[in-house]
Amino acid sequence: MHPLVAFMIDDNKRTLLMKQTDDLTGQPKEKLIMRSQMNKIYIAISLVCLYCLVSGVALAGTLTDNGNGTVTDSGTLLMWQKGENSPMTWEAALSFCEGLSLGGVTDWRLPNIKELSSLVNDAKMTEITIDTTMFPGTHSASYWSSTTNSANSVMAWEVLFSYGSSNCSSKINSLYVRCVRGGQ
């Protein structure tokens, strides 16, 4: 039995609450998701984002180990480098992926932020928010995306797999790399 989940916006307290039934007992539980000074529209937007996360929309694909150092995501149709490399700067990461020959193909590239974020499993509450069966040895650290920060071109977007969050980092920092092919 899966829990029933509902979200409520309390205008008076400016809070967003999640109400759900317990898996085992069926009794209702309530959890505060957000308390904010923001107005109703921003809380409602947060509600939509939370619905997507809880409903598993982002986790629709199935990962398949191709047995050649690559993993394919059937949801995004992206093929990923299974292993990873030592940390490197953003420029070095771009060059590394473009020069990679793996699984009999050479059209590898550094993933954009949306693609890299698709590997985050929001339902995973462990130290690493990526499927470590498919991507063993993944570090609880930041990985480069090819996406430059539009407000500051010396920075690029990264995904921190220990929390599943996206942040920006200076392109001269050394971060981990996981190359991709397909999509765009």
Question: What does the block give as tokens for 116?
Answer: 């890299």
160 and 88 fall within a common domain: yes
Give 145-151's long-range contacts (Cβ < 8 A, gap of 24+).
Answer: 145/110, 145/111, 145/112, 145/113, 145/115, 145/116, 146/94, 146/109, 146/110, 146/111, 146/112, 146/113, 147/112, 147/113, 147/114
Check whether residue 18 and residue 99 sit in a common domain: no
- Could you tell me if 39 and 77 lie in one domain? no
Contact criterion met (CB below 8 Å) for 158 and 171 = no
51 and 67, same domain (yes or no): no
141-153: pLDDT as tens digits: 999 999 999 999 9
Q: What's the CATH number where 145 sits?
A: 3.10.100.10
For 61-87, how does the pLDDT look when each residue is reduced to its tens digit (9 = 90+)?
589 999 999 999 988 899 999 998 899
- Cα dihedral 156, 61, 2, 28 in deg (nearest 10): 20
Predicted model pTM: 0.66
- Domain region containing 170: 63-181
84 & 133 share domain = yes
Beta-strand ranges (E) seen in 3-153 are 5-10, 15-21, 28-35, 63-65, 70-73, 78-81, 142-148
Q: Looking at the 3D structure of the chain, how many domains does it have?
A: 2
> Do 124 and 145 reside in the same domain of the chain?
yes
Q: Which of 42-51, 61-70, 95-104, 146-155 shows the lowest mean pLDDT across its residues?
A: 42-51
83 and 160 inside one domain: yes
- Do residue 109 and residue 126 come from a single domain? yes
For residues 91 and 27, state if they share a domain: no
pLDDT at 29 over 60: no
